[in-house]
Amino acid sequence: MMDLELPSHQARNYLLAYGVVAVYIATPPGGRPCMIGTSHDLTQSSSYIKRAWSPVVDITRAWWVQTKEEAEALERAVISVWWEQRINATRLDITGEQALNTITRIAFEKGITIHDHDDVMSKANSAVRKVTEEINHAQATGGLKWFNRAYKAYRLACKAAGENVMPYDYVIVRLISVLVGRVARREVYKLDASLLDEVFVPKKAKKIGAVHRTVQQAVYSGVDER
């Protein structure tokens, strides 16, 4: 079985925004037994498999389909074919190659379009490169002054509230991830303050309450400072 490239943080955001779901095969070095599963996030699934099964088990093949229903239908069908070889709910006493052949055959029989992982990753990585180049150009030409002011205000507000501060480089990664998601959804975007909530304030901020509202206000006031 082949080595499989797991998505970076930014590429994961592209795939999540695009809405596709993976059907994957995971195997130990000998290629047997294997695990069949579905996932929106292969990087997270790989970490879980290593913890739950063995650190030497890797996701070795994956395909992407349009819906969760298609992915789960493929998973159930493969397990059904090899029912007598079941070790548990998702692990089968067959080789990765046998699982591969079964997945591709069943997808053809059921009329489910499967997209090879490498092809999908190529599109995701292309989007990440495009956005990264845009951010690098904006940094070099002064186009991120508004963002840098927001980051300074964010850092000061977090320190005043006793909150941990995200490093600047990590915040830039979050900015790239937000933009990559918009590329995946084919949304038009501008490098402006409309991006700040997604970059600086956690999705659970409404539950956290006053601290992050204060940070949010500081971020926007930082952008407005001249």
Q: What is the pLDDT of residues 38-63, one digit of tens each?
A: 999 999 999 999 999 999 999 999 99
**pLDDT the model gives residue 212:** 55
Q: Does a structural domain hold residue 77? A: yes
Q: Does a structural domain hold residue 124? A: no
Q: Could you give the C-alpha distances from 138 to 14, 105, 148, 172, in angstroms and in order?
A: 21, 48, 11, 12
**pLDDT the model gives residue 167:** 94
**pLDDT the model gives residue 85:** 96
Residue 162 and residue 112 in one domain: no
Residue 109 and residue 171 in one domain: no
User: CA–CA separation, 209 vs 225, rounded Å?
Assistant: 25
Residue 98 and residue 169 in one domain: no
DSSP state of 85: G
List Cβ neighbours of 138 (8 Å cut-off, separation of 6 or more).
144, 191
- The arrangement of strands across the sheet holding 21-27 comes to 91-92, 34-39, 21-27, 58-65, 115-116
DSSP symbols for 136-200: HHHHHTTTTHHHHHHHHHHHHHHHHHT-----HHHHHHHHHHHHHHHHHTT----SSGGGHHHHH
User: CA–CA separation, 176 vs 31, rounded Å?
Assistant: 37
- Out of 83, 118, 153, a domain closes at 118
CB atoms within 10 A of CB 175: 23
Residue among 156, 150, 157, 153 at smallest CA distance from 175: 150
The answer to whether 216 touches 208, Cβ cutoff 8 Å, is: no
Task: Give the count of domains, the chain.
Answer: 2
Residue 16 and residue 113 in one domain: yes
Residue 63 and residue 96 in one domain: yes
| Segments of the chain with pLDDT less than 70 | 1-2, 202-226
List Cβ neighbours of 66 (8 Å cut-off, separation of 6 or more).
19, 20, 21, 113
The answer to whether 207 touches 197, Cβ cutoff 8 Å, is: no
Q: Does a structural domain hold residue 163? A: yes
User: CA–CA separation, 114 vs 204, rounded Å?
Assistant: 34
- Out of 118, 153, 175, a domain closes at 118
Residue 170 and residue 112 in one domain: no
**pLDDT the model gives residue 15:** 93
With tokens 């952008």, the residue in question is 223
Give the domain extent around 37. Answer: 9-118
Residue 97 and residue 156 in one domain: no
Q: Does a structural domain hold residue 125? A: no
User: CA–CA separation, 149 vs 156, rounded Å?
Assistant: 11
CB atoms within 10 A of CB 105: 13
